Amino acid sequence: MGKILKFILWLVIALVALVIIAAVVLPMVVDPNDYKAEIATAVEKQTGRLLTIDGDIALSVFPWLGLDIGPTQFSNAAGFDEPAMARMEAVQVRVKLLPLLRKQLEVDKIRLSGLQLYLAKDKQGLTNWADLTAPAEAGEPTDKATPETADGAAAAGLERLAIGGIEVTGASIHWDDRSSDSHYEVNELSLTTGAIEPGEAFDLDLQLQLLSTQPAIKTGLSLSGELLIAGDLDALTISGAKLLVDAQGDSLPAGQVKAALTTDISLGLAAQTLLLPNIVLDTLGLHITASVTGAGISGDAPRFNGTLAIAEFVPRKVLQALGEAAPVTADDSVLRKADATLAWDASLQHFAASSLTAHLDETTLNGELKVQSFDAPAISFALLLDQIDIDRYLPPPGSQESVAANGSGDAAKRSSGDKGTGKSSPQSEKLPLEPLRSLNLNGELRMAQLKAFNLRSRDVLIQIKARDGVLEISPLTAKLYDGAVDVDLKLDARKDTPRFTVKESLTDVQAGPLLKDLTGDDKLLGTANVKANLNGAGNNVDEILNTLTGTAGFSFADGAVKGVNIAALIRKAQATLKGQSAPKQEQPNQTDFALMRGTATVTNGLVKNDDLVLQSPLLRISGAGEVSLPQETIDYTLTTKFVGSLEGQGGKGDQELKGVSVPVRVGGTFSNPTYAPDLGAVAKDAAKAEVDKRVQEQKQKLEKKLGTDIPDSLLKGLFDK
């Protein structure tokens, strides 16, 4: 036994001595530079590319099996401008020799410097690496047989892998896409890690500069954190990951965007899971927190969900950070605070936001939003606003921004009392037809209180559907001014000239307060009931007005027409006929009525009405004429007949005009209507009334003398002669 142990000891000593001798002698005897040609030939045979090793190759054996390679380059594919696809200044890889005998791979720090990688795509879409990844030619084996032991079992893998770290310096990556005329460069890339060993955490630091041409942006990026690779290599965790971005370019908001993101990242390679539990992003004056959970991340149908919260911020400051001027608003106190929170889930084909809550100044929004099929998005939503005053966010009345929003200076002139034709501008904005045609939308918006264009409403419901070029807003309902409004709107944009139809009804609405808020002048008072069924065609508002066609019916109860006192106009006409001065008007400049009703037909924007009826204790008024919506002009005649004395409207109680029809011409524009009685018609009617009076007097005398009734037609015919 002693001899055997002695033999084994001497054998081990001999082997160690042999290894030491080999480590010293082998590098002296074997020069790897002698094999450069053979290496290049083998690479060219396998790839068809040239491998050129300009620098020396240094070999070490013990205690590290190491390889140091100097400047080397790998040629590019034929047809591409850059001669080399890849080049490097130096690379160093060293593996500890003895642990290999124990199936343990211990690698010293891997060092790579001066790497330059050129990736490209030509105008036909062919990349400069396509030939390297092409399938093997027919007859060539595509898979290598798995090495097996004598008993047929697969060879056992490594029991331990350890890398002393990775150090990459002075690297750059170029991407040139001629098919899209875009170019990107990653420069000054450096990567440094601590010692890498499964189950042990190590530091990670990455720095780079990214340049792009379309758009022209220069971005500085750094990433740091503590990386942990699981012992079985099936999971990866980055703790305290911090990403800093500093992008500059004319196409960016304010020419520069800075962002800082911190999070923890857990990636389950075997379980195909992703977890980012505590994302924090600061950019553009926003503080955003979020979380992300992913499942099946490397499969065909990955799913993700998480949360998002935007802390309270000042929208005006965010706009400033974006390089945008804050809008000029009627109320300077708006756009001062906002925030939002939501939960979400997503896949490759959908996104859904639930538990959505957002605040803008004093307004709160709640609801949910879904987008299905990103290739042809189908959007659905259900949102609830507690209250909002849109007028606070619009430009101040009369400002340049307000004029621009109205689309022309004509609108401003009309609002300021211009006495022109009232014609609207032909330069109204065209409808966005292409977005409308591709829109797939199904949503509901409710608003507890709404103020817009100075109109106040509550319990607003808007249901919107859009598909295949047809947009429907049905119903649009609201309560306003002690009544209700109900609108059905349909816009068909499938053809070159879109068509629309609208059905609208107002029920028991107080017209005076509504008009007062809308126009600043309550010219018409009363309880309004209106129904309209209209249609039109065109690419903008003006074209639609010029084609507007349909019918409408209306009634107003217990009201008044302000701005004109029909009785006062008649008294003035009466005084003119008598050559007297007009009596002083002491009553309000309005015409009271118990009921006003009528119907209208609309043809190409021209509204015609022939059956207006206005009833009051004193007056019976009928009306006929037309109104041009495109031109905003009025051509209308009111025919007034007195059925009582003028006393109720400020008269003196005379009966001279009782039963006489008095026409009143209404003209001018919507903003400046004019009223004028037809004096000629009044005189003619008054003369006719005098004739009728004389007829009756003569009739009574003859009947008394003859003692019998005489037909009115007989005497009237005699007097007419």
Rg (CA), the chain: 45
Lowest mean pLDDT among 70-79, 405-414, 699-708: 405-414
* Rounded distance between C-alpha atoms, residue 170 and residue 237, angstroms: 27
> What is the token pair recorded at 274?
């992703």
- Burial of residue 38, with CB atoms counted within 10 A of its CB: 0-12 exposed, 13-18 middle, 19 or more buried: exposed
Cβ neighbours for 148, distance < 8 A, ≥ 6 positions apart: 154, 155
In tens, the pLDDT along 539-589 reads: 888 888 899 999 999 998 887 776 666 666 666 655 665 666 666 655 666
In tens, the pLDDT along 43-94 reads: 888 888 898 888 787 777 666 677 788 899 999 998 888 889 999 999 888 8
What pLDDT sits at residue 192? 94
In tens, the pLDDT along 139-197 reads: 455 554 444 444 444 444 556 678 888 999 999 999 999 888 888 999 999 999 998 88
CB 371 within 8 A of CB 352: yes
What pLDDT sits at residue 6? 55
CB 561 within 8 A of CB 522: no
Residue ranges per structural domain of the chain: 428-524, 548-677, 690-721
User: How many helices and strands in the chain, by DSSP H and E?
Assistant: 11, 36
Decide if pLDDT at 418 tops 50.
Answer: no
In tens, the pLDDT along 676-695 reads: 876 566 556 656 666 666 66
Q: Where are the alpha helices (DSSP H) in 311-364?
A: 315-321
**pLDDT band at residue 199, thresholds of 50, 70 and 90?**
confident
Decide if pLDDT at 517 tops 50.
Answer: yes
What pLDDT sits at residue 216? 87
Three-state DSSP at 223 gives strand
**pLDDT band at residue 415, thresholds of 50, 70 and 90?**
very low
> What is the token pair recorded at 404?
């621009």
Phi and psi at residue 126, to the nearest 5°: -85, 130
What pLDDT sits at residue 61? 64
CB 489 within 8 A of CB 473: yes
What pLDDT sits at residue 503? 94
**pLDDT band at residue 127, thresholds of 50, 70 and 90?**
very high
Lowest mean pLDDT among 149-153, 595-599, 658-662, 702-706: 149-153
What pLDDT sits at residue 428? 61
Give the CB-side neighbour count of residue 545, counting CA atoms within 13 A: 14
With vertex at residue 368, the alpha carbon angle to CA 366 and CA 372, rounded to the nearest 5 degrees, is 160
- Going by C-alpha positions, the residue among 80, 182, 197 that lies closest to residue 127 is 80
**pLDDT band at residue 96, thresholds of 50, 70 and 90?**
confident
Decide if pLDDT at 422 tops 60.
Answer: no
Decide if pLDDT at 17 tops 60.
Answer: no
**pLDDT band at residue 270, thresholds of 50, 70 and 90?**
confident
In tens, the pLDDT along 322-331 reads: 888 888 999 9
Where is pLDDT greater, at 24 or 485? 485
**pLDDT band at residue 38, thresholds of 50, 70 and 90?**
confident
The enclosing H or E element of 501 equals: strand 499-510
Decide if pLDDT at 286 tops 90.
Answer: yes
Mean of per-residue pLDDT scores for the chain:
80
